[in-house]
Amino acid sequence: MDSKEKFKAGFVALIGKPNVGKSTLLNYILGTKLSIVSPKPQTTRMRILGVKHDKDAQIIFLDTPGIQKGKDILTKTVVESAVASMEEADVIVMVIDAEKGWTKEDDLLLQNYIEKLNKPTILVINKIDKVKKDLLLPLIDLVSKKYDFKEIIPVSAKRGENIDRFLEVLKKYLPESPPLFPEDQITDLPLKFFIAEIIREKIFNNVRDEVPYSVAVEVESIKQGENNPNVIVIDAIIYVEKQSHKGILIGKKGQMLKKIGKEAREELEHLLGKKVYLNLWVKVKERWKEDVRLLKMLGYHYIS
Protein backbone atom coordinates (compact mmCIF):
# COMPACT_ATOMS: atom_id res chain seq x y z
CA MET A 1 0.00 0.00 0.00
CA ASP A 2 1.27 3.48 -0.92
CA SER A 3 2.36 5.42 2.17
CA LYS A 4 0.06 8.28 1.10
CA GLU A 5 -2.96 5.99 1.05
CA LYS A 6 -4.83 5.71 4.32
CA PHE A 7 -6.21 2.43 5.63
CA LYS A 8 -10.01 2.25 5.57
CA ALA A 9 -12.46 0.35 7.74
CA GLY A 10 -16.21 0.54 8.06
CA PHE A 11 -19.57 -1.16 8.30
CA VAL A 12 -21.57 -2.12 5.20
CA ALA A 13 -25.23 -3.21 5.47
CA LEU A 14 -26.39 -5.70 2.84
CA ILE A 15 -30.11 -5.16 2.43
CA GLY A 16 -32.82 -6.33 0.07
CA LYS A 17 -36.00 -8.31 -0.03
CA PRO A 18 -35.83 -12.03 0.83
CA ASN A 19 -34.03 -14.41 -1.54
CA VAL A 20 -32.06 -11.91 -3.64
CA GLY A 21 -28.77 -13.63 -2.74
CA LYS A 22 -27.34 -11.48 0.08
CA SER A 23 -26.09 -14.50 2.01
CA THR A 24 -24.55 -16.10 -1.09
CA LEU A 25 -22.78 -12.80 -1.81
CA LEU A 26 -21.36 -12.58 1.71
CA ASN A 27 -20.23 -16.22 1.70
CA TYR A 28 -18.41 -15.74 -1.61
CA ILE A 29 -16.66 -12.56 -0.45
CA LEU A 30 -15.46 -14.16 2.78
CA GLY A 31 -14.50 -17.44 1.12
CA THR A 32 -16.35 -19.36 3.82
CA LYS A 33 -19.92 -20.23 4.69
CA LEU A 34 -21.07 -17.74 7.27
CA SER A 35 -24.73 -17.37 6.28
CA ILE A 36 -26.95 -20.36 5.58
CA VAL A 37 -28.52 -20.52 2.14
CA SER A 38 -31.65 -22.19 0.78
CA PRO A 39 -33.94 -21.67 -2.22
CA LYS A 40 -36.70 -20.62 0.18
CA PRO A 41 -37.14 -16.95 1.11
CA GLN A 42 -36.71 -15.67 4.69
CA THR A 43 -33.93 -18.15 5.47
CA THR A 44 -31.80 -15.53 7.28
CA ARG A 45 -33.41 -14.43 10.54
CA MET A 46 -30.58 -12.56 12.28
CA ARG A 47 -28.00 -9.98 11.41
CA ILE A 48 -24.79 -11.82 10.42
CA LEU A 49 -21.50 -9.94 10.79
CA GLY A 50 -18.66 -10.92 8.46
CA VAL A 51 -15.25 -9.25 8.20
CA LYS A 52 -13.38 -9.04 4.89
CA HIS A 53 -9.68 -8.38 5.50
CA ASP A 54 -7.71 -6.71 2.71
CA LYS A 55 -4.29 -5.07 2.49
CA ASP A 56 -5.73 -1.56 2.38
CA ALA A 57 -9.13 -1.98 4.03
CA GLN A 58 -11.30 -3.91 6.43
CA ILE A 59 -14.90 -4.22 5.24
CA ILE A 60 -17.34 -5.27 7.96
CA PHE A 61 -20.44 -6.64 6.29
CA LEU A 62 -23.79 -6.84 8.06
CA ASP A 63 -25.94 -9.40 6.24
CA THR A 64 -29.48 -8.44 7.20
CA PRO A 65 -32.65 -10.53 7.15
CA GLY A 66 -34.92 -9.70 4.23
CA ILE A 67 -37.47 -7.04 5.15
CA GLN A 68 -40.75 -8.90 5.56
CA LYS A 69 -44.29 -8.44 6.84
CA GLY A 70 -45.71 -10.10 9.93
CA LYS A 71 -47.20 -9.32 13.31
CA ASP A 72 -45.53 -11.92 15.55
CA ILE A 73 -42.65 -10.93 17.81
CA LEU A 74 -40.13 -12.95 15.77
CA THR A 75 -40.93 -11.13 12.51
CA LYS A 76 -40.87 -7.72 14.21
CA THR A 77 -37.50 -8.62 15.74
CA VAL A 78 -36.13 -9.69 12.35
CA VAL A 79 -37.13 -6.33 10.82
CA GLU A 80 -35.68 -4.40 13.79
CA SER A 81 -32.41 -6.29 13.31
CA ALA A 82 -32.27 -5.20 9.64
CA VAL A 83 -33.10 -1.58 10.48
CA ALA A 84 -30.48 -1.44 13.26
CA SER A 85 -27.85 -2.72 10.81
CA MET A 86 -28.73 0.03 8.33
CA GLU A 87 -28.52 2.68 11.03
CA GLU A 88 -25.04 1.65 12.18
CA ALA A 89 -23.64 1.21 8.67
CA ASP A 90 -21.29 3.62 6.91
CA VAL A 91 -22.46 2.37 3.52
CA ILE A 92 -25.65 0.62 2.42
CA VAL A 93 -25.58 -1.99 -0.33
CA MET A 94 -29.02 -2.71 -1.73
CA VAL A 95 -29.20 -6.05 -3.53
CA ILE A 96 -31.81 -6.87 -6.18
CA ASP A 97 -32.42 -9.95 -8.33
CA ALA A 98 -31.55 -9.43 -12.03
CA GLU A 99 -34.06 -12.08 -13.07
CA LYS A 100 -36.98 -10.49 -11.20
CA GLY A 101 -35.91 -6.91 -11.87
CA TRP A 102 -37.06 -3.95 -9.82
CA THR A 103 -40.18 -4.79 -7.79
CA LYS A 104 -42.79 -3.05 -5.65
CA GLU A 105 -40.99 -4.42 -2.57
CA ASP A 106 -37.81 -2.68 -3.75
CA ASP A 107 -39.74 0.59 -4.06
CA LEU A 108 -41.01 0.21 -0.49
CA LEU A 109 -37.53 -0.59 0.81
CA LEU A 110 -36.21 2.50 -0.91
CA GLN A 111 -38.96 4.80 0.35
CA ASN A 112 -39.30 3.47 3.90
CA TYR A 113 -35.64 2.99 4.77
CA ILE A 114 -32.93 4.09 2.32
CA GLU A 115 -34.30 7.55 1.50
CA LYS A 116 -34.83 8.30 5.19
CA LEU A 117 -31.32 7.25 6.22
CA ASN A 118 -29.64 9.25 3.43
CA LYS A 119 -26.38 7.27 3.52
CA PRO A 120 -24.07 6.42 0.61
CA THR A 121 -25.90 3.59 -1.16
CA ILE A 122 -24.61 1.19 -3.81
CA LEU A 123 -27.01 -0.94 -5.84
CA VAL A 124 -25.89 -4.49 -6.62
CA ILE A 125 -27.80 -6.35 -9.34
CA ASN A 126 -27.21 -10.00 -8.44
CA LYS A 127 -27.81 -13.23 -10.41
CA ILE A 128 -26.70 -11.77 -13.76
CA ASP A 129 -25.77 -15.33 -14.78
CA LYS A 130 -29.51 -15.99 -15.10
CA VAL A 131 -30.34 -13.21 -17.59
CA LYS A 132 -29.27 -12.28 -21.11
CA LYS A 133 -26.99 -9.25 -21.29
CA ASP A 134 -29.34 -7.36 -23.59
CA LEU A 135 -31.92 -7.41 -20.77
CA LEU A 136 -29.45 -6.06 -18.23
CA LEU A 137 -28.91 -2.61 -19.81
CA PRO A 138 -32.61 -1.61 -19.65
CA LEU A 139 -32.69 -2.69 -15.99
CA ILE A 140 -29.61 -0.58 -15.20
CA ASP A 141 -31.24 2.36 -16.96
CA LEU A 142 -34.45 1.87 -14.97
CA VAL A 143 -32.81 1.62 -11.53
CA SER A 144 -30.54 4.60 -12.19
CA LYS A 145 -33.69 6.75 -12.30
CA LYS A 146 -35.07 5.35 -9.06
CA TYR A 147 -32.52 6.89 -6.69
CA ASP A 148 -29.15 8.60 -6.60
CA PHE A 149 -27.18 5.38 -6.14
CA LYS A 150 -23.45 6.06 -5.81
CA GLU A 151 -22.73 3.05 -8.01
CA ILE A 152 -24.73 0.37 -9.83
CA ILE A 153 -22.81 -2.91 -10.10
CA PRO A 154 -24.07 -6.10 -11.80
CA VAL A 155 -22.63 -9.28 -10.20
CA SER A 156 -23.09 -13.01 -9.97
CA ALA A 157 -22.46 -14.03 -6.36
CA LYS A 158 -22.85 -17.68 -7.33
CA ARG A 159 -20.10 -17.52 -9.97
CA GLY A 160 -18.02 -14.74 -8.39
CA GLU A 161 -18.46 -12.53 -11.44
CA ASN A 162 -17.57 -8.84 -10.91
CA ILE A 163 -17.14 -9.29 -7.13
CA ASP A 164 -13.56 -7.94 -7.12
CA ARG A 165 -14.74 -4.75 -8.83
CA PHE A 166 -17.58 -4.43 -6.33
CA LEU A 167 -15.13 -4.61 -3.40
CA GLU A 168 -12.77 -2.04 -4.91
CA VAL A 169 -15.65 0.37 -5.56
CA LEU A 170 -17.00 -0.19 -2.06
CA LYS A 171 -13.70 0.82 -0.47
CA LYS A 172 -14.04 4.33 -1.93
CA TYR A 173 -16.96 5.03 0.38
CA LEU A 174 -15.47 3.67 3.62
CA PRO A 175 -14.08 6.08 6.23
CA GLU A 176 -10.37 6.24 7.00
CA SER A 177 -9.84 4.15 10.11
CA PRO A 178 -7.47 1.60 11.63
CA PRO A 179 -8.72 -2.02 11.56
CA LEU A 180 -11.68 -2.60 13.88
CA PHE A 181 -11.28 -6.38 14.20
CA PRO A 182 -8.21 -8.64 14.64
CA GLU A 183 -6.85 -10.15 11.41
CA ASP A 184 -7.90 -13.69 12.36
CA GLN A 185 -11.52 -12.79 13.18
CA ILE A 186 -14.21 -13.00 10.52
CA THR A 187 -17.34 -12.82 12.71
CA ASP A 188 -18.62 -12.03 16.20
CA LEU A 189 -21.04 -14.96 16.37
CA PRO A 190 -20.65 -17.89 18.79
CA LEU A 191 -20.22 -21.52 17.71
CA LYS A 192 -23.68 -22.47 19.02
CA PHE A 193 -25.21 -20.06 16.53
CA PHE A 194 -23.45 -21.70 13.55
CA ILE A 195 -24.43 -25.19 14.65
CA ALA A 196 -28.08 -24.17 15.06
CA GLU A 197 -28.08 -22.43 11.67
CA ILE A 198 -26.59 -25.46 9.88
CA ILE A 199 -29.29 -27.70 11.35
CA ARG A 200 -31.96 -25.17 10.35
CA GLU A 201 -30.55 -25.00 6.80
CA LYS A 202 -30.89 -28.76 6.41
CA ILE A 203 -34.51 -28.51 7.56
CA PHE A 204 -35.17 -25.76 4.99
CA ASN A 205 -33.65 -27.87 2.23
CA ASN A 206 -35.48 -31.09 3.11
CA VAL A 207 -38.91 -30.17 4.47
CA ARG A 208 -41.75 -28.72 2.43
CA ASP A 209 -44.42 -26.04 2.76
CA GLU A 210 -44.70 -23.95 5.91
CA VAL A 211 -42.85 -26.32 8.27
CA PRO A 212 -39.37 -24.70 7.95
CA TYR A 213 -40.82 -21.32 8.91
CA SER A 214 -42.25 -22.76 12.13
CA VAL A 215 -38.89 -24.19 13.23
CA ALA A 216 -36.32 -22.91 15.72
CA VAL A 217 -33.16 -24.71 16.83
CA GLU A 218 -31.60 -24.49 20.28
CA VAL A 219 -28.15 -26.03 20.81
CA GLU A 220 -28.24 -27.25 24.41
CA SER A 221 -24.66 -28.44 24.75
CA ILE A 222 -21.36 -28.93 22.92
CA LYS A 223 -19.03 -31.37 24.70
CA GLN A 224 -15.85 -33.27 24.01
CA GLY A 225 -16.25 -37.02 23.86
CA GLU A 226 -15.61 -38.63 27.24
CA ASN A 227 -12.99 -41.04 25.92
CA ASN A 228 -11.84 -39.19 22.80
CA PRO A 229 -10.99 -35.45 22.63
CA ASN A 230 -11.27 -35.58 18.81
CA VAL A 231 -14.99 -36.31 19.10
CA ILE A 232 -17.59 -33.60 19.71
CA VAL A 233 -21.02 -34.46 21.10
CA ILE A 234 -23.76 -31.94 20.27
CA ASP A 235 -27.27 -31.98 21.76
CA ALA A 236 -29.88 -29.82 20.03
CA ILE A 237 -33.63 -29.28 20.26
CA ILE A 238 -35.77 -28.46 17.22
CA TYR A 239 -38.88 -26.51 18.25
CA VAL A 240 -42.02 -26.66 16.11
CA GLU A 241 -45.41 -25.02 16.60
CA LYS A 242 -47.71 -27.97 15.85
CA GLN A 243 -47.85 -31.70 16.53
CA SER A 244 -48.39 -32.28 12.79
CA HIS A 245 -45.13 -30.41 12.06
CA LYS A 246 -43.32 -32.68 14.51
CA GLY A 247 -44.59 -35.71 12.60
CA ILE A 248 -43.42 -34.31 9.26
CA LEU A 249 -40.00 -33.42 10.67
CA ILE A 250 -39.44 -36.86 12.19
CA GLY A 251 -40.85 -38.65 9.15
CA LYS A 252 -41.84 -42.28 8.65
CA LYS A 253 -39.79 -44.46 11.02
CA GLY A 254 -37.69 -41.37 11.85
CA GLN A 255 -36.21 -41.23 8.33
CA MET A 256 -36.55 -37.46 7.79
CA LEU A 257 -34.91 -36.55 11.11
CA LYS A 258 -32.12 -39.04 10.37
CA LYS A 259 -31.54 -37.43 6.95
CA ILE A 260 -31.44 -33.92 8.44
CA GLY A 261 -29.11 -35.11 11.20
CA LYS A 262 -26.78 -36.89 8.76
CA GLU A 263 -26.47 -33.86 6.45
CA ALA A 264 -25.92 -31.48 9.40
CA ARG A 265 -23.37 -33.80 11.02
CA GLU A 266 -21.33 -34.12 7.81
CA GLU A 267 -21.16 -30.35 7.40
CA LEU A 268 -20.30 -29.84 11.07
CA GLU A 269 -17.47 -32.37 10.82
CA HIS A 270 -16.09 -30.41 7.88
CA LEU A 271 -16.48 -27.12 9.80
CA LEU A 272 -14.99 -28.36 13.08
CA GLY A 273 -12.41 -30.79 11.70
CA LYS A 274 -13.51 -33.47 14.18
CA LYS A 275 -15.91 -36.41 14.34
CA VAL A 276 -19.34 -35.25 15.50
CA TYR A 277 -22.13 -37.08 17.31
CA LEU A 278 -25.30 -35.04 16.78
CA ASN A 279 -28.33 -35.78 18.94
CA LEU A 280 -31.56 -34.13 17.77
CA TRP A 281 -34.89 -33.92 19.59
CA VAL A 282 -38.11 -32.41 18.25
CA LYS A 283 -40.39 -30.61 20.71
CA VAL A 284 -43.73 -28.91 20.17
CA LYS A 285 -43.87 -25.39 21.56
CA GLU A 286 -47.00 -23.60 20.41
CA ARG A 287 -46.57 -19.93 19.48
CA TRP A 288 -42.83 -19.98 20.19
CA LYS A 289 -42.48 -16.93 17.92
CA GLU A 290 -44.29 -14.98 20.65
CA ASP A 291 -42.17 -16.37 23.53
CA VAL A 292 -39.82 -13.50 24.45
CA ARG A 293 -37.77 -15.62 26.87
CA LEU A 294 -37.17 -18.35 24.28
CA LEU A 295 -36.40 -15.84 21.52
CA LYS A 296 -33.76 -14.16 23.69
CA MET A 297 -32.31 -17.56 24.55
CA LEU A 298 -32.12 -18.34 20.83
CA GLY A 299 -30.08 -15.16 20.28
CA TYR A 300 -32.64 -12.66 19.00
CA HIS A 301 -31.32 -9.50 20.62
CA TYR A 302 -33.53 -6.79 19.13
CA ILE A 303 -36.51 -7.56 21.33
CA SER A 304 -38.06 -4.52 23.00
Give the domain CATH number at 146. Answer: 3.40.50.300
Instruction: Please check the confidence at residue 266 and state whether its pLDDT lies above 70.
Output: yes
Residue 183 in any domain: the answer is no
Residue 90 in any domain: the answer is yes
SS3 category, 139:
helix
Same domain, 41 and 103: yes
Same domain, 72 and 159: yes
- Percentage of the chain beyond pLDDT 70 is 84
Same domain, 22 and 122: yes
**What average pLDDT score do residues 282-294 get?**
79
Alpha-carbon distance of 209 to 197, in angstroms, equals: 19
Instruction: Please check the confidence at residue 7 and state whether its pLDDT lies above 60.
Output: yes
Q: Across all residues in the chain, what is the average pLDDT?
A: 85
Instruction: Please check the confidence at residue 252 and state whether its pLDDT lies above 90.
Output: yes
159 touches 129 (CB < 8 A):
yes
Same domain, 163 and 16: yes
pLDDT tens digits for range 91-144 = 999 999 999 999 999 999 899 889 988 899 999 999 999 998 888 999 999 999
Strands 216-224 and 231-240: what pairing? Answer: antiparallel
Which residue did the predictor score with more confidence, 76 or 195? 195
Residue 208 in any domain: the answer is yes
User: Which of 21-25, 161-165, 275-279 has the least mean pLDDT?
Assistant: 21-25
Residue 85 in any domain: the answer is yes
Residue 250 in any domain: the answer is yes
Q: In the prediction, which pLDDT does 247 show?
A: 92
Tally the residues of the chain.
Answer: 304
Which residues are bridge partners to 14 per DSSP? Answer: 63, 93
Q: In the prediction, which pLDDT does 37 show?
A: 58
63: confidence class by pLDDT, cuts 50, 70, 90: confident
Residue 12 in any domain: the answer is yes
Same domain, 133 and 246: no
Q: In the prediction, which pLDDT does 208 show?
A: 79
Q: In the prediction, which pLDDT does 303 show?
A: 43
pLDDT tens digits for range 176-233 = 999 999 998 888 778 888 888 899 889 988 987 777 677 889 899 999 888 888 899 9
286: confidence class by pLDDT, cuts 50, 70, 90: confident
The overall pTM is greater than 0.85: no
Residue 302 in any domain: the answer is no
Same domain, 165 and 26: yes
Which of 64, 37, 40, 38 lies closest to 50 in space, CA to CA? 64
Same domain, 165 and 196: no
- Cα end-to-end span (Å), the chain: 45
Burial of 17 (0-12, 13-18, 19+ CB in 10 A): buried
Same domain, 55 and 204: no
- Percentage of the chain beyond pLDDT 90 is 52
Instruction: Please check the confidence at residue 302 and state whether its pLDDT lies above 90.
Output: no
Domain that holds residue 126: 8-171
Q: In the prediction, which pLDDT does 70 show?
A: 57
Instruction: Please check the confidence at residue 45 and state whether its pLDDT lies above 80.
Output: no
Strands lying side by side in the sheet with 57-63: 48-53, 57-63, 8-15, 91-97, 121-126, 151-154
Instruction: Please check the confidence at residue 276 and state whether its pLDDT lies above 60.
Output: yes
Alpha-carbon distance of 110 to 105, in angstroms, equals: 9
Give the domain CATH number at 286. Answer: 3.30.300.20
Residue 177 in any domain: the answer is no
Same domain, 19 and 157: yes
Same domain, 38 and 165: yes
Number of domains present in the structure of the chain = 2
Q: In the prediction, which pLDDT does 48 show?
A: 77
Domain endpoint, select from 171, 199, 218? 171
